[in-house]
Amino acid sequence: MSSISNARWILLSQAMRIVVQLISLAVLSRLLSPAEYGLMAMCTVVMNFAYLLRDMGTAAAVIQRETLTDDMTSTVFWFNVGTGFALCLFLVLLAPIIAALFKTPALTPVLWVLALIFPISSSSAVHQALQERGNNFRIIARVEGTSSLIGLIVALILAYMGLGVYALAFQLLAAFAAGTIQFWFASTWRPSWRWSQPEFMSLLGYSGNVTGFTIINYFGRNADSMIIGRVLGEVALGIYAQAYRVMMFPLQSMTYVANRALLPVMSRKQNEPAQIGQLYLRSLGMIATITAPLMTGLWLLRDPFVYVVLGDQWGEVATLLAWLAPVGLIQAVVNTNGTVFLATGRTDRLMRLGLCNTVLQLTAFFIGTRWGIEGLAACYLVANVMNFLPAFYFTLKEVNATMLDLTKALWQPLTATTGMLVLLLPMIQLLGAYNVSEMMTLAVCSVVGTVLYAGVTYLISPAIYRDLKQFAKAD
């Protein structure tokens, strides 16, 4: 019940953030150009790398530890604060060099603005980790939801004032600042002037592997933007970045929700692999139940979706979604694996699996670029398919489960999704033959697809409805 309650509040938070992102896409995409989005995408490549170093894996260690002392939390706090100020300074100094590497001088002042995020966000990393460790996700949902809304308001005001890419930069800065202030007010814990070298050293093994994984994973997730920005330019990167953001929605919703909700619960059961395995497989079934029809529907309706949500100038995004929508489905289930290794303390295995996946993706990106952004997206899909089996083999082994158990967890949502796909295809063709508008096609097919999927799911898997009912009643 703890994991269900956690997931309920995180899902509420993510729903608010997704609504904010959709509003941002629908409004800011019409106020800002692809070149400005491309410029922000270049900044994001750098920011993502710096942000993963914000706490060096110590926040996950605070959540996972069986026992936690004030010496440890204070030590982690001061370490994070120092890291945040160091990252800010390095980013300010390196901004002109980074801009030169991207051959985009306008990158420098934008990075200077974004550098302020790190000393601000680092000062609340422990406060947030303690809330997660205590399963206080009601508070976290409130903080994250209001912070994203504040960021959106700032972005819309600045975009209407004609500040271009700075609207996107200050959106992030305002959201992080609002979150930090709220986490401090929501927490009763305050750091003391202590530094415990033994406690710090005890974190290095766990946190070092987490940091290694996040760095490796960063290159796997951002190499595509680096290569496109360097080889194909900011316009192509802006188009790819928009398609990638759409693809990431299920990861930012269900998978992200599951990982955050499960980590504190699994960590308390870290010496009981069978119970972790049952919880993990049940969570996979729920994730697939929502993400499989979502990404399949996006693949089917990519053309009207892009026209209605983004506008005519983003037509090439639909071409990329033909390849990235299946990637989103695969990653939605594969990316839950890391939580198992974090909870059981096997961060060394997590790092090695991340390295293998990154090698696959980098190879795919370098091969695919010769055919432009569509070729890169196609090769990205191939790399994710190749990574699927080894990633699950080692994860299931960690919790004493098998591939047959995985099949039992996933066959029902995948079967229902296939049924929805088969029934929707002729409807889409019929609407196209009668020249029905994109907006009407998107609305009709979305409603019909939802009803069809819900009906098939009820017939073959009534247990899903029981889980949803339990989810709705969780406190």
DSSP string, 171-209: HHHHHHHHHHHHHHHH------S---HHHHHHHHHHHHH
Share of residues in the chain with pLDDT > 90 (%): 6
- pLDDT at site 384: 92
- Residue range 415-431: average pLDDT? 88
- Residue range 20-47: average pLDDT? 75
User: Cβ–Cβ contacts within 10 Å for residue 191, how many?
Assistant: 17
| Inter-CA distances, 80 with 33, 67, 76, 211, Å | 36, 20, 6, 13
Q: What mean pLDDT is reported for the chain?
A: 81
- pLDDT at site 209: 74
- pLDDT at site 240: 87
> What gap in Å lies between CA 165 and CA 267, rounded to an integer?
41
Amino acid at 419: G
* Least confident window among 157-166, 310-319, 398-407, 454-463: 454-463
The band of 401, judged by pLDDT with boundaries at 50, 70 and 90, is confident
> What gap in Å lies between CA 311 and CA 32, rounded to an integer?
12
> What gap in Å lies between CA 155 and CA 161, rounded to an integer?
10
The band of 233, judged by pLDDT with boundaries at 50, 70 and 90, is confident
- Residue whose entry in the numeric block shows the structure tokens 């158990």: 405
How far the first Cα of the chain sits from its last, in Å, is: 8
Q: Report the helix count and the strand count for the chain, using DSSP H and E.
A: 22, 0
Cα dihedral angle (300, 305, 311, 315), rounded to 10 degrees? -10
Picking from 263, 182, 203, 179, the residue whose alpha carbon sits closest to that of residue 78 is 203
Summarised one tens digit per residue, pLDDT across range 4-23 is 666 666 666 667 777 777 77
> What gap in Å lies between CA 428 and CA 430, rounded to an integer?
5
* Least confident window among 92-106, 289-303, 415-429, 440-454: 92-106
Summarised one tens digit per residue, pLDDT across range 439-451 is 888 889 889 988 8
* Least confident window among 130-134, 329-333, 381-385: 130-134
Classified as helix, coil or strand, 439 is helix
Maximal CA-CA distance, the chain:
72
Q: Which of 106-120, 194-208, 240-254 has the highest mean pLDDT?
A: 106-120
Helix ranges (H only) for 116-255 are: 117-122, 125-133, 137-160, 165-186, 197-231, 234-247, 249-250
Sign of CA dihedral 132, 50, 112, 78: positive
Asked whether residue 65 carries a pLDDT value surpassing 80, the answer given is no
The band of 299, judged by pLDDT with boundaries at 50, 70 and 90, is very high
- Residue range 273-295: average pLDDT? 83
Picking from 405, 422, 362, 412, the residue whose alpha carbon sits closest to that of residue 387 is 362
- Residue range 46-57: average pLDDT? 71
> What gap in Å lies between CA 377 and CA 147, rounded to an integer?
32
Q: Which residue has the higher pLDDT, 187 or 270?
A: 187
Asked whether residue 249 carries a pLDDT value surpassing 60, the answer given is yes
The band of 231, judged by pLDDT with boundaries at 50, 70 and 90, is confident
> What gap in Å lies between CA 94 and CA 102, rounded to an integer?
13
- Residue range 236-256: average pLDDT? 76
> What gap in Å lies between CA 446 and CA 113, rounded to an integer?
40
- Residue range 313-324: average pLDDT? 88
Asked whether residue 399 carries a pLDDT value surpassing 90, the answer given is no
- Residue range 219-226: average pLDDT? 76
Angle between helix axes 107-115 and 165-186 (nearest 10 degrees) is 10
Long-range contacts of 138-144 (CB under 8 A, 24+ apart): 138/9, 139/186, 140/9, 140/10, 140/13, 141/9, 141/10, 141/12, 141/13, 141/16, 142/13, 142/182, 143/179, 143/182, 143/183, 143/186, 144/13, 144/16, 144/17, 144/179
* Least confident window among 114-128, 171-185, 451-465: 451-465
Amino acid at 138: R
- The tally of CA atoms less than 13 A away on the side-chain side of residue 236 is 18
- pLDDT at site 290: 82
Summarised one tens digit per residue, pLDDT across range 341-382 is 887 777 778 888 888 888 898 899 889 888 888 898 999 999
Summarised one tens digit per residue, pLDDT across range 114-128 is 888 888 888 888 888
Judge whether 340 and 280 are in contact, CB under 8 Å. Answer: yes
- pLDDT at site 11: 66
- Residue range 142-157: average pLDDT? 86
